[in-house]
Structure 1
Amino acid sequence: MIQEVIVDAYGESEQTVAFYVMFEDNLAMPFKTEVLGVEVTVERIDLTGDEQIVAICCRGKARQRVPILDLPLPSPPPEGADWIAAFRRWAGGER
């Protein structure tokens, strides 16, 4: 999966953006998960100005950005969560 994403992306910046696009295209949202023991809804995925991929989590009117690398996934995970697993492998150095 990693090679499928980064085949035409050169450098870490382009590769991160390529993963972001895969999340946008394949990750079923919204979905519920727990962050620090509190149920939240992941509304969308965003790319920050410093090129971090974050999940926009909400609970009521409160919103919080959680790095996708730190986001706990529910069981069962949402459709497309395998792309998050691939990104975590890539970010962990399995490039």
Structure 2
Amino acid sequence: MVHAAATGCRERSYFDGQDVLESSQPGPGHTASGWLNRLVAALPAGEGRDLAPTTDVRAVAKGLAADLFGLSPAVLARSVFPGTELLRPVGGLAV
């Protein structure tokens, strides 16, 4: 687990710092794409190249509804998110 991260670029704004972390470059303005875009472009074409989220957004929404409003998973599956009985709610996201 990484609790904090920093770069060597100290004389910068918050937005420049965000740009440095997202682009994985030594300073702001060095590239127009992020590190993930460059990685995908460098991968060989074919099987295994497709990237997709691993958690259904409805599972996240069910977990947030349960955490924030105290609704039971059964009530959520039956009335708020019908047809999602097999999706286990992703909990612990709400602070």
> TM-score w.r.t. structure 1 length?
0.25
Structure with greater helix percent: 2
Rg comparison, structure with higher value = 2
- Which has the bigger relative contact order, CA under 8 A and spacing at least 6? 1
Structure with greater strand percent: 1
> TM-score w.r.t. structure 2 length?
0.25
